[in-house]
A and B are shown apart, each in its own frame.
Chain A
Amino acid sequence: MKPHLISTEVLARQVYRYSRAYRLAAFVLFSFLILQVPAVVCLIYERQVGQERRTRAGQLAADAARIVSDRRALADTEKKLKRIEDLATVLRARLPISAVLGKIEQLASQDLALSQIVIDAGEFQPVQIETSLFQVPRQINVVIKGEQPAQGGDAYKHLAEKLLESLPPGSKIADASLANNQPFKTFRLVLSAPTNGNYFGLGVTKISAQNSL
């Protein structure tokens, strides 16, 4: 039926509904828009992620500011800890003398009479901590002098070997000499040990908990 008594404006609008050309144009447009959906979804996702990232960055910045302010209160403690840390190199290079002496006491047989024990540090290395200069030893020398009966055999050597086993790895016997006097023979043992080794062999135990102090 012909569109009798219908205004040209309405007819013009109705052309959009029924004309193949306009429907094709609409189809192309809708297809184009549908193809944009993944991109739009991706964009929305990126925006959400960006938003979350910015929120997280804000939170982290706030946390960092809080930590900086908390740390400011701990600055003095931190300074002290730094000094202790710096002193570690100095403190590490030490010898538990009582343990050495105790070990010598344990290992020396009844035939041996010890006349002198000298424990001395050597091979010093200068270490600067803040404004102070420390001479840190890298080697400990243990000198033991004594006597053994003429028929005492190699008791002094046994002592030297046992003591070497107790000292940290890298230790060595520098001298083990015996003078032929009568009726007792005098001996001299010199052992050197590194200062940075562990002294567990001397019976020193590791501190496992703070309250054990």
Chain B
Amino acid sequence: MLSDISTFLREMPVKHYLAGGLWSTKEPSLAFFIGQEKIEALVAGVRGGIGYEGSLEKDNGAPPLASGQSSLASGTGSRTLSRKLTSRYRLRKNVKHLFVVDAEKKDRFFGVNTLERLRQKSVSAALEEMHENPQQIFGSWPDETPFRWAILNREISLGTDTNPRIDEPILIFGMADELCASFESWAETQGASITAILPLSIAVLAWCNANLATKDRDSLVVVATDQGAVSAAFKRRSLIYISQDESASDAFSALEREVDALELERPARYLWALNNTEERRSIPQDLLIIDKENIQGISGESLALQEGHGKKTKHDRPIAHLLNWLVKQ
């Protein structure tokens, strides 16, 4: 009890409390997309996106890149990046950060499994075992790279507790501890709290399952990023397959081979690409590419967000819609 009190007195976020945190927990969010060479951010109030910053990687106080590389002089200026953004968009000083990271292949892991096959009774037991002894779970795992782990239900619900049956598919994902820690320590320098750290592909799959017609029809989704492609298969909204591939075409080829084994009926095919893909010739014809031309139809709205210069412009790139959707979850 006494140690709890002394810890509280020592760690108490005085600035946060004095900036209004004592009365209200409604805080604006800064949702960062962290790429290998690019950082973008959606600035959101309580009701959603307000502003968009397209290239924060040049800012002195920018967060670390997905490669783990820090920016020039993280936060040595008089004002932190978070403070600059909240001032620019006239938001409260206390902010929450959400990091969506396009991590390198070696720094991320995705898998669909069941608790039964993992020989675990519960999600918490599985997480503990993955943290303590990943070799036991995955058969082989490099010792030198500690990972952080999370488990989502088959619907990829980011906001609910996962409590599946032992034979139900679950999504296991992980990211290098060092990479996550770099975002945590950067957020600490900004005086911000962290909502979550999500791998880009997982965030996209969650968005797809919430916004595409995966409930009505089996679906194959490929998420193409700078770090390769992630393919996923949904059977009536339930994630049943996930795999990492080099490119979108490889991912679709792999999915085509698995369609029968996965017992999918005339699946719809979707491609979510971070950048304009040049591989369209080698990917299926009946494919719906989620891009700025059709995103308004999928998400139901066009995003008009303010930029640094103060004018509102349309931001219908999939990443902007993804970040806007995530801050509302």
Contacting A3 at CB < 8 Å: which of B12, B149, B160, B195? B195
User: Does A5 lie within 8 Å of B22, measured CB to CB?
Assistant: no
User: Does B148 lie within 8 Å of A5, measured CB to CB?
Assistant: yes
With both chains docked as a complex, state the minimum distance between the C-beta of B241 and any C-beta of chain A, in angstroms. 21
With both chains docked as a complex, state the minimum distance between the C-beta of B49 and any C-beta of chain A, in angstroms. 15
CA of A26 to CA of B11 in the docked complex: distance in angstroms? 11
On chain B, the residues within 8 Å of A22 by CB distance are: 8, 12
Contacting B196 at CB < 8 Å: which of A3, A17, A30? A3
Q: Give the nearest-CB partner of B152 in chain A.
A: A4
CA of A25 to CA of B98 in the docked complex: distance in angstroms? 28
With both chains docked as a complex, state the minimum distance between the C-beta of B178 and any C-beta of chain A, in angstroms. 12
The total number of A-B Cβ pairs within 8 Å is 71
Interface check B198, CB cutoff 8 A: yes
User: Does A25 lie within 8 Å of B8, measured CB to CB?
Assistant: yes
User: Does A17 lie within 8 Å of B180, measured CB to CB?
Assistant: no
User: Does A16 lie within 8 Å of B150, measured CB to CB?
Assistant: no
Q: Give the nearest-CB partner of A3 in chain B.
A: B196
Contacting B25 at CB < 8 Å: which of A2, A18, A26? A18
On chain A, the residues within 8 Å of B13 by CB distance are: 13, 16-17
Interface check B158, CB cutoff 8 A: yes
Interface check B193, CB cutoff 8 A: yes
User: Does B180 lie within 8 Å of A5, measured CB to CB?
Assistant: yes
Contacting B184 at CB < 8 Å: which of A4, A6, A25? A6
User: Does B150 lie within 8 Å of A4, measured CB to CB?
Assistant: yes
Contact bitstring A27-44, B, C-beta under 8 A = 1, else 0: 101100000000000000
Q: Give the nearest-CB partner of B16 in chain A.
A: A17
Contact A5:B196 (CB < 8 A) given known A16-B8, A16-B13, A26-B12? yes
With both chains docked as a complex, state the minimum distance between the C-beta of A19 and any C-beta of chain B, in angstroms. 9
User: Does A1 lie within 8 Å of B196, measured CB to CB?
Assistant: yes
With both chains docked as a complex, state the minimum distance between the C-beta of A117 and any C-beta of chain B, in angstroms. 104
Contact bitstring A41-80, B, C-beta under 8 A = 1, else 0: 0000000000000000000000000000000000000000
Contact A1:B326 (CB < 8 A) given known A23-B22, A25-B8? yes
User: Does B22 lie within 8 Å of A26, measured CB to CB?
Assistant: yes
On chain A, the residues within 8 Å of B12 by CB distance are: 16, 22, 26, 29
Count residues on chain B whose CB falls below 8 Å from chain A CBs.
33
User: Does B184 lie within 8 Å of A7, measured CB to CB?
Assistant: yes
Q: Give the nearest-CB partner of B17 in chain A.
A: A26
CA of A73 to CA of B327 in the docked complex: distance in angstroms? 91
CA of A13 to CA of B192 in the docked complex: distance in angstroms? 11
User: Does A2 lie within 8 Å of B180, measured CB to CB?
Assistant: no
Contact A14:B175 (CB < 8 A) given known A2-B159, A23-B21, A23-B22? no
Interface check A88, CB cutoff 8 A: no
> For chain B residues 130-161, which have a beta carbon within 8 Å of chain A?
148-150, 158-161
With both chains docked as a complex, state the minimum distance between the C-beta of B122 and any C-beta of chain A, in angstroms. 16
Contact bitstring B18-60, A, C-beta under 8 A = 1, else 0: 0001100100000000000000000000000000000000000
Interface check A10, CB cutoff 8 A: yes
Contact A2:B194 (CB < 8 A) given known A23-B22, A30-B22? no
CA of A7 to CA of B13 in the docked complex: distance in angstroms? 18
Contact A10:B22 (CB < 8 A) given known A2-B161, A23-B17? no
With both chains docked as a complex, state the minimum distance between the C-beta of A8 and any C-beta of chain B, in angstroms. 10
Interface check B288, CB cutoff 8 A: no
Q: Give the nearest-CB partner of A26 in chain B.
A: B17
With both chains docked as a complex, state the minimum distance between the C-beta of B95 and any C-beta of chain A, in angstroms. 11
User: Does A27 lie within 8 Å of B22, measured CB to CB?
Assistant: yes
CA of A23 to CA of B329 in the docked complex: distance in angstroms? 24
User: Does A4 lie within 8 Å of B16, measured CB to CB?
Assistant: no
With both chains docked as a complex, state the minimum distance between the C-beta of B109 and any C-beta of chain A, in angstroms. 11
With both chains docked as a complex, state the minimum distance between the C-beta of B131 and any C-beta of chain A, in angstroms. 10
On chain B, the residues within 8 Å of A17 by CB distance are: 13, 16, 21, 25, 94, 193
Contact bitstring B181-198, A, C-beta under 8 A = 1, else 0: 100100010000111111
> For chain B residues 85-140, which have a beta carbon within 8 Å of chain A?
94, 98
Contacting B194 at CB < 8 Å: which of A3, A23, A30? A3
Nearest first, the 4 closest Cβ-Cβ pairs linking A and B are A5-B197, A4-B150, A4-B196, A1-B329
Q: List 16 A-B contacts (CB under 8 A).
A: A1-B196, A1-B329, A2-B159, A2-B161, A3-B194, A3-B196, A5-B149, A5-B198, A6-B197, A14-B194, A17-B16, A18-B25, A23-B21, A26-B17, A26-B22, A27-B22
Q: Residues of B at under 8 Å CB distance from A?
A: 8-9, 11-13, 16-17, 21-22, 25, 94, 98, 148-150, 158-161, 174-175, 180-181, 184, 188, 193-198, 326, 329
